[in-house]
Amino acid sequence: MDKIVVTGGVPLEGEVRISGAKNAVLPILCATLLADAPMEIGNVPHLHDVRTTARLLGGLGAGIGHDIEGGIVRVDPRTVDSHLAPYELVRTMRASVLVLGPLLAKHGAAEVSLPGGCAIGSRPVDLHIKALEALGAEIVVEHGFIKARAGRLRGGHVAFEMVSVGATENVLMAATLAEGTTTIDNAAREPEIVDLADCLVAMGARIEGAGTSRIVVQGVDALQGARHDVIADRIETGTFLVAGAITGGHVVATHARPDTLEAVLGKLLEAGADISVEGDRVGVDMRGRRPRAVDIVTEPHPGFPTDMQAQFMALDCIAEGTGTIDERIFENRFMHVNELMRLGADIQIDGHRATVTGIGRLTGAPVMATDLRASASLILAGLVAEGDTTIDRIYHLDRGYERIERKLSGLGARIRRIS
């Protein structure tokens, strides 16, 4: 099993190129199932989860061409002849549930394994099921599978009692081929939803209001093939900006979308960083300064993103003062706390709130990654801890960050992968 070793103490300097967004490319690859012709997706990041999704689509019978270096995935959905998303794939990536809506809308049938729990909480799919039933799907959950059937889906009214990114994406995709109009209230507003909608519109879908909490879809009879380039990854961008801030360096992210991470930029300013924005470039400058501790409350977009919570906890660990971190989206997203404490961090947990008292120095130690963003926070802490920090189980990291150690080395970090 690969490990990553980080030797702390180097202020990061330089530019880093941001890849396409994991949380946009996964639903967009699932949306290709809706088309009557081949699709070409560009700016695809080189991630384990992308390979898993390609395997999932291939398993359904779609033709797949994956030019990893070129960042292009071609999908020919015309040969889809199965509607089964098997447990061995779904349990490694819960986003597999996003084939449910497209398969139902296009083929009238879907059998998707329940995702099972994951490190950051139980993460049910009840909101996905209720939303698709509102469009006329008949769904039973038995023997660990979601079994769904439908004639032609009918447009309906979906009012989510809580915001769910995945459930919004599933019903948005299904509604594009339903008969009549679908209104989705309390929809998730993440930029990845907007990017999915842009791709669907390029295929001929009729969608209004993506990015707001009310989305209206006029169903059409068929969707064509299209080429779509995936939006830049705002969480990867935020992670590298925190890397610049935590090491007291100066980092510029390029090929980014600064307009999609305003809450994160606001917190970096509060921490005392200088922020520069110029087109698709966004920079953080913390040279010669120690960050000030900030308070974080995670919320649905445009609030502060839960996927940046662990990274800011690492920043607070070495900041001036005390910061509180209130995780409101997931019930168990503090798995990184015990590992950060092994590096000397001073963190108290009370339910979904962590209180972090900044200390002058962390010391390197062997730690273990538990989920994707927790892994990132351990690397960030390792960048400033004295000595070596060895991070184990970094397959979590490879799911969502494209070649992170290469990109960090390019900024001067002393980091290496060992098998």
Active site residues: 118
Q: Considering the rule CB under 6 A, would residue 405 count as an interface residue with ligand EPZ?
A: no
Q: Which of residues 262-301 bind ligand EPZ (CB under 6 A)?
A: none
Order of strands across the sheet with 13-17?
13-17, 250-254, 281-285, 274-278
* 143 CB burial (10 A radius; 0-12, 13-18, 19+): exposed
Per 3-state DSSP, what percentage of the chain is helix, strand, and coil (rounded to 5)? 35, 30, 35
Among 33, 132, 167, 318, binds ligand EPZ (CB under 6 A): 167
C-alpha to C-alpha distance for 214 and 192, rounded to whole angstroms: 16
Nearer residue to ligand EPZ within complex by CB, 164 or 389 = 164
Binding mask 213-252 for ligand EPZ (x = CB under 6 A): ----------------------------------------
Q: Considering the rule CB under 6 A, would residue 329 count as an interface residue with ligand EPZ?
A: yes
- Binding segment toward ligand EPZ, per CB under 6 A, in 29-37, 68-76, 125-133, 217-225: 125-133
With residue 84 as reference, give the H or E element that holds it: strand 84-85
Q: Considering the rule CB under 6 A, would residue 330 count as an interface residue with ligand EPZ?
A: yes
Cα separations in angstroms, 98 against 8, 215, 237: 39, 18, 25
C-alpha to C-alpha distance for 42 and 53, rounded to whole angstroms: 15
Binding mask 305-324 for ligand EPZ (x = CB under 6 A): -xx-----------------
Cα separations in angstroms, 135 against 101, 218, 419: 10, 13, 49
- Binding segment toward ligand EPZ, per CB under 6 A, in 147-155, 158-166, 284-292, 409-417: 158-166
Q: Considering the rule CB under 6 A, would residue 400 count as an interface residue with ligand EPZ?
A: yes
- Binding segment toward ligand EPZ, per CB under 6 A, in 22-30, 75-83, 209-217, 404-412: 22-30
Q: Considering the rule CB under 6 A, would residue 127 count as an interface residue with ligand EPZ?
A: yes
Cα separations in angstroms, 408 against 17, 40, 144, 273: 11, 30, 41, 19
Binding interface with ligand EPZ (CB under 6 A): 22-23, 26, 95, 121, 123-128, 162, 164-167, 306-307, 329-330, 372-373, 400
